[in-house]
Chain A
Amino acid sequence: MKKALLLILAIAMVFMFGVSCSKKAATTTAAAPAASTSAPAASATTTTQTKEAEVITIAFIGNTTGDYAMYGVPVRNSVAMFFEQLNAAGGINGKQVKLLEYDDKADGTESINAYNLAKANGATAIIGSVLSGASIALSDVTYDDNMPQISASATNPKLTVMDPDDPKSEVKTNVFRTCFLDPFQGEKMAQYAAQVYGAKTIAIFYENGSDYSEAIVQGVESQLEACGLKVVAKEAFATGDVDYKAQMTNVAAANPDVVLMPIYYGEAGRAITALRAAGCNAKIIGGDGFGSVVNYASAADLEGTIYMSGYAPGTPSVAKFESDYKAKFNEDVPNMFAPLAWDAALVMTEGLKAAEAKGLKAGSAEYKQAVIDAIKNLQAFEGITGSYTFNATNDPIKSVAIIKIAGGAEVFDAFF
């Protein structure tokens, strides 16, 4: 018996070792191109023959290692690619842009350390950070220095406002973002239901206790009156719950025109299956968490479902970016943060151009203020994911991309 047991354990060990080894091998090969591009990290990534005074130094701060690196790496890649192309095309005002890169491991303290280093190395603007937590920590210190900062991916309202619950709260005037906020998405969902579908009654199905889901619901509810919508059913599930039959029976009984589902793809697939099984044929609108939902419910049940997205893959404005990204990093654009990061770099460059045009000295207080003012004053500035105008709290007012599911595929439908 003991011998048999030992044998089994030995086999199990060999097997597990094998698995972990093959996994490691896979990750190293995948990381190889990224590693080579980040080799000169925290030092100049552009070789410039020009004198020190004629270089504009900016810094990227973001998590390019650790648990959430799948968000940070595409952002870093896009930003690096943007400035490489910009420099190749002559830079800004004849000056090359020197991009410093720092890894903050998605940790607020690390991003503040990185910021201090960037400042010591002469950075005059910051792109980053990636996750909300680190970005907020970073924005608190950049605000003290009035350092221009833009994030491509931090969706938390606290990035640009000291206290989002207080309508009179101080705004961090130097901080911008190119992604939309969660409540903003909810407002768009309600407006789409009313204006495009002509809905009068809606049902909401959300995840109880999820910041993402609840923030979108908040946005939806803020628009009810303006859109003339009535919520006939509001159902929720607890995180980890799989059985939505009872909730969907209630939704079906309320017979809404449209069902709004601000939840993630896996749950969305189950929820839609359960909704259709309960005999409800209402239209379904999801949030950006719906990405790749086609893998989680049948094509028949999903037909006609739409969701809001920050980016419309395959559209003309992003086509060049997508092919460049694929050529340079040897993979498809992994998520919407990559094109949003390109836009962040584009918006920041627009600010730098304005400051350069005034002939100010890079790094000076007037220069930073000029960058911030220029970004703040942008009107419907065209990026690759949409156009940018910043509101009173420095959040972009931009159109969302509507993705429609037709014949089991997610296809771009229209901007809204």
Chain B
Amino acid sequence: MSFSLLIAQLINGLQTGSVYALVALGYSMVYGIIKLLNFAHGDIIMVGAYMTYYAIASFALPPAVAVVLDIAASTLLGVFVEKVAYTPLRSAPRLSLLITAIGVSFLLENGAQLVFGAGQKSMDPMITGSFMMGRVNVSYTAIVTIVVSVARMVLLTFVVNKTKAGKAMRAVSEDMGAAQLMGISLNRTISMTFAIGSALAGVGSVLYMCAYTQASPTMGSMLGIKAFVAAVLGGIGSIPGAMIGGFTIGILEALVAAVGLSMWKDAAVFLVLIVVLLFKPTGFMGKKLQEKV
């Protein structure tokens, strides 16, 4: 493999990884706060992608308006799902919550087939063109995707670490009961987490549509699972971890395909998941598990 081909594949990997990372951030945040693996997260991206499609392809709105609509719709849907499906189960066993999340995922997927139809919807690419970096052909889409996702991570780290809302989120994540006693509104904080996570999913769906230009009802499931692997790999609950995990999975996929094993892409991703769970269950940046005595 020549050097320029390697660079081209690394850029491919970074672009794919950026989308995974944005989705993984949503998983991580929700897991961090209510210990729920929100399997409906990938499907929120799917709804966001359809929003983008309808806004641009059917109503011919400018891309900027489409992006805002998409993020708003994803955020509302995320909060709605939390209120309707998860809040009533807050004191129920963890397993009930997990199964509910899977149920919501199926509901959204099949509901989308009913509403949007089972076929793919395709639109023209929002960003076109590419430039030559040395001997490597780089598309503008790749640059935008990588820049946007890094910017979102920096912004999110700032929100969580420096603002009052972020402090509340961290407090709830650490000890729900104690946080409540300190006067933090649980409902508001959890809704806020879902809102931010879903907004990130909205951004992810715009980037997804930039890269792949097609929306389909089942697109969220594999994307969600890959992002989940990324979150676990980076250490679920950790923001920089989700980012690192996302990029790692993206680059891993690109490199596996680069050496001619494109059929083994998914296998490689899940093999990594198994190895990580065996040897470092907390992931790269995960908190150490402490047994309560």
Interchain CB contact under 8 A, A279 and B265 = no
Partner of A236, one of B5, B12, B15, B262: B262
A249 to B265, CA, bound (A): 15
Interface of B, secondary structure class, is helix
Residue of B nearest to A209 (CB): B263
Max chain B C-beta neighbours (<10 A), residue from A241, A242, A278, A297: A242
Report the contact-size class of chain B (Cβ under 8 Å from the partner).
35 or more
Contacting residues, chain A, for B139 (C-beta < 8 A)? 277
Does chain A have a CB within 8 A of B158? no
Interchain CB contact under 8 A, B219 and A242 = yes
Contact with B along A97-138 (1 / 0, CB 8 A): 000000000000000000000000000000000000000000
* Contacting residues of chain B (247-265) with chain A, CB-CB under 8 angstroms: 253-254, 256-258, 260, 262-263, 265
* Contacting residues of chain B (68-125) with chain A, CB-CB under 8 angstroms: 84, 88, 114-115, 119-120, 122, 124-125
Interchain CB contact under 8 A, A269 and B122 = yes
A240 to B141, CA, bound (A): 22
Contact with B along A1-27 (1 / 0, CB 8 A): 100010010000000100100000000
Nearest-neighbour CB distance to chain B for A373, whole angstroms, equals: 45
Residue of B nearest to A2 (CB): B88
Interchain CB contact under 8 A, A277 and B130 = yes
Does chain A have a CB within 8 A of B13? yes
Contacting residues, chain A, for B143 (C-beta < 8 A)? none
Does chain B have a CB within 8 A of A163? no
Contacting residues, chain B, for A273 (C-beta < 8 A)? 125, 212-213
Contact with B along A250-278 (1 / 0, CB 8 A): 10110000000000001001100100011
* Contacting residues of chain B (200-220) with chain A, CB-CB under 8 angstroms: 211-214, 216, 218-219
A267 to B211, CA, bound (A): 14
Nearest-neighbour CB distance to chain B for A277, whole angstroms, equals: 5
- Cross-chain pair count, CB within 8 angstroms: 91
A253 to B211, CA, bound (A): 20
For the complex, count residues of A whose C-beta is within 8 A of B: 32
A16 to B119, CA, bound (A): 20
Contacting residues, chain B, for A145 (C-beta < 8 A)? none
Residue of A nearest to B267 (CB): A238
A237 to B263, CA, bound (A): 6
Nearest-neighbour CB distance to chain B for A244, whole angstroms, equals: 8
Interchain CB contact under 8 A, A246 and B141 = no
Interchain CB contact under 8 A, B130 and A253 = no
Contacting residues, chain A, for B258 (C-beta < 8 A)? 246, 249-250
Does chain A have a CB within 8 A of B146? no
Does chain B have a CB within 8 A of A192? no
Does chain B have a CB within 8 A of A361? no
Interchain CB contact under 8 A, B15 and A208 = no
Interchain CB contact under 8 A, A270 and B213 = yes
Partner of A277, one of B119, B141, B262: B141
Contacting residues, chain B, for A277 (C-beta < 8 A)? 130, 139, 141
Partner of B260, one of A208, A243, A250: A250
Partner of A249, one of B5, B114, B119: B5
Contact with A along B211-240 (1 / 0, CB 8 A): 111101011001000000000000000000
Interchain CB contact under 8 A, A297 and B84 = no
Does chain A have a CB within 8 A of B2? yes
CB-CB under 8 A for A238 and B122, given A249-B258, A278-B137 = no
* Contacting residues of chain B (1-23) with chain A, CB-CB under 8 angstroms: 2, 5, 8-9, 12-13, 15-16
Residue of B nearest to A250 (CB): B258
Residue of A nearest to B129 (CB): A277
CB-CB under 8 A for A237 and B2, given A269-B122, A296-B122 = no
Residue of B nearest to A265 (CB): B120
A246 to B256, CA, bound (A): 9
Nearest-neighbour CB distance to chain B for A406, whole angstroms, equals: 18
Interchain CB contact under 8 A, A235 and B137 = no
Partner of B253, one of A235, A246, A249: A246
Partner of A243, one of B125, B137, B141, B212: B212
Partner of B214, one of A16, A245, A269: A269
CB-CB under 8 A for A246 and B214, given A19-B114, A238-B266, A296-B122 = no
Max chain A C-beta neighbours (<10 A), residue from B8, B16, B125, B262: B262
CB-CB under 8 A for A208 and B263, given A249-B8, A250-B257 = yes
Does chain B have a CB within 8 A of A323? no
Does chain B have a CB within 8 A of A247? yes
Nearest-neighbour CB distance to chain B for A237, whole angstroms, equals: 6
Residue of B nearest to A295 (CB): B122
* Contacting residues of chain A (1-59) with chain B, CB-CB under 8 angstroms: 1, 5, 8, 16, 19
Nearest-neighbour CB distance to chain A for B49, whole angstroms, equals: 11
Nearest-neighbour CB distance to chain A for B249, whole angstroms, equals: 11
Q: What are 12 inter-chain pairs, A to B, with CB distance below 8 A?
A: A8-B84, A235-B260, A235-B262, A236-B262, A245-B254, A246-B9, A246-B262, A250-B257, A253-B2, A270-B212, A279-B137, A296-B122
| New A-B contacts (12) at CB < 8 Å, excluding given A249-B12, A266-B119 | A1-B88, A5-B88, A8-B84, A245-B15, A245-B16, A246-B12, A246-B254, A249-B8, A252-B137, A269-B122, A295-B122, A296-B120
4 closest residue pairs by CB, A with B: A246-B257, A279-B137, A245-B12, A296-B122
